[in-house]
Amino acid sequence: MPKTLARLRTLAFQHQSGRCYYCCCPMWQKSPEAFAATFHLSKRQAHTLQCTAEHLHARVDGGGDFESNIVAACRLCNARRHQRKDARDAIHHKAHVARLMGRKRWHDPWVFEKVLHSGAGR
């Protein structure tokens, strides 16, 4: 990842208080072991909640690496947005994720049990 994008990801992570732009779950940026220990997760589970840089307006559509276009998103939310043949724009993806989070259907059950209901996740 270019240094500029890494810096923008860190700024977004800090601005969002370490929470995913889409699902609002806590994320980790530098220490998967500490994050996993805090929430009693496996390394594989922690990997899902790694902080990534997400372009609100995708690069392929002309979006660039600038602060107003970068948010911090967990690996799962970032990947799922772009898995679709016709990826949703960021606003519609966020609304879609919110609907499914409300029904506890976006992430695996362990996220709701271990991360979101833990005192450490608030």
Instruction: For residues 81-86, give the mean pLDDT.
Output: 85
> Is 98:20 a contact under the CB 8 Å cutoff?
no
pTM of the model: 0.91
* For the chain, domain boundaries: 3-115
String of DSSP letters for 9-54: HHHHHHHTTTB-TTT--B-BSS-HHHHHHHHT--HHHHHHTBEEEE
User: What fold, for 3-115?
Assistant: DNA Binding (I), subunit A (1.10.30)
Q: For the chain, what percent of residues have pLDDT higher than 90?
A: 80
Instruction: For residues 15-43, give the mean pLDDT.
Output: 97
Place of tokens 């800090």: 14
For the record, the structure tokens of 81 come out as: 């947005």
Q: Which band of pLDDT confidence, cut at 50, 70 and 90, is reported for residue 120? A: low
- Per-residue pLDDT reduced to its tens digit, 46-60: 999 999 999 999 888
* Amino acid 12: pLDDT: 98
CB contact set of 41 (below 8 Å; sequence gap of 6+)? 35, 110, 114, 115
* Amino acid 60: pLDDT: 81
For the record, the structure tokens of 24 come out as: 């609002």
